[in-house]
Structure 1
Amino acid sequence: MKFLRDIRIKPFDFVVVVVLFLASFSVLAFLPSQKAGAMAQLRVHGKVVRDFDLNKNQIWTYRAKDGDYNKIEVRNGKIAVIKANCRDQIDVKQGFISKVGQTIVCLPHSLVIQVMSGHKNNEVDYNA
């Protein structure tokens, strides 16, 4: 208590600081948890090329007319680009994703894979 008197902090001030500190982290308890998706959508240049059911293990290769390719694997409810012929390989390095809203992007090929819930929501335009 001598320390508190020396810095002129009253005990009630200390209680207020602790309560505010704990309250700032209580918001985390109310955040929605990300749910695993049921499907993923592959878009190239903004156009839907294919939908993937994340419950079915599969390997599929997207091939463009100019020779670009991305090998896509769905395994155990997750999706990833496992091989591509782009220079940076960012899409391959990203690994498997499974939560709603997560995306894999290959900028050189203008390719986007996005995990979706699989449930139709009239308030959301998935093709935008």
Structure 2
Amino acid sequence: MKLKEFIRASQMKRWDFIIIFILIVSSFLPLVVFGAQQMPENAEKHAVLRVNGQEIESFRLVEGKKGQLYTYKSDDGDTNVIEIDGDRIRIVEADCGDQVCVRRGWASKHGETIVCLPHKLVIEIVAIDGSETDELIY
């Protein structure tokens, strides 16, 4: 069946094709929008450790930097061991019951988070742009 025969048989009008074309093109719009939110090229990556919404520590993530361990111990006795290896970070050990934060693995991209709900601990990768004020980009 040829295209012209198909068009006549399905009774599709010219505007039907235009609407279908517009819908197909607009389906790629999220790629453009979310692609624009990527980290700026001159930005430094930092991992911010927060407990109960309060910033506890900030780790600079630099590719090639030697790995280190950081142990966070709360007043309640909750313990998380955090590993920083170059430009990525993860929770290696936690004394919570579910271990979801440990199974999460490495985080290295802008906007990624690691969450330990029982300890109310959040590690978020943020970027500090090259401006003079060095504001965090969320």
CA deviations on 1:9-57 (whole Å, 9 max, x unpaired) are 13x2453144213321342235315228611111112222111111143
State the distance in 2 between where 1:37 and 1:108 align. 30
Say which of 4, 15, 18 aligns to 1:16.
18
- TM-score scaled by structure 1? 0.79
Show the counterpart of 2:7.
4
- C-alpha contact (below 8 Å) 2:69/2:82 kept by paired residues: yes
The answer to whether 1:45 aligns with 2:52 is: yes
State the distance in 1 between where 2:11 and 2:124 align. 55
Q: What are the within-5 Å matches in structure 2 for residues 24-39 of structure 1?
A: 24-27=26-29, 28-30=31-33, 31-35=35-39, 38-39=45-46
Moved >6 Å (runs of 4+): none
CA deviations on 1:93-127 (whole Å, 9 max, x unpaired) are 221112222221111111111111133228x7x8x
The answer to whether 1:106 aligns with 2:134 is: no
Aligned-pair identity (%)? 37
- RMSD of the alignment, in Å? 2.5
Structure 2, unaligned runs of 5 or more:
none
Work out the number of aligned pairs and report it. Answer: 123
Structure 1, unaligned runs of 5 or more:
none
Question: Secondary structure of the equivalent of 1:108?
Answer: helix
State the distance in 2 between where 1:113 and 1:64 align. 15
- C-alpha contact (below 8 Å) 2:128/2:135 kept by paired residues: no
AA aligned opposite 1:32: A
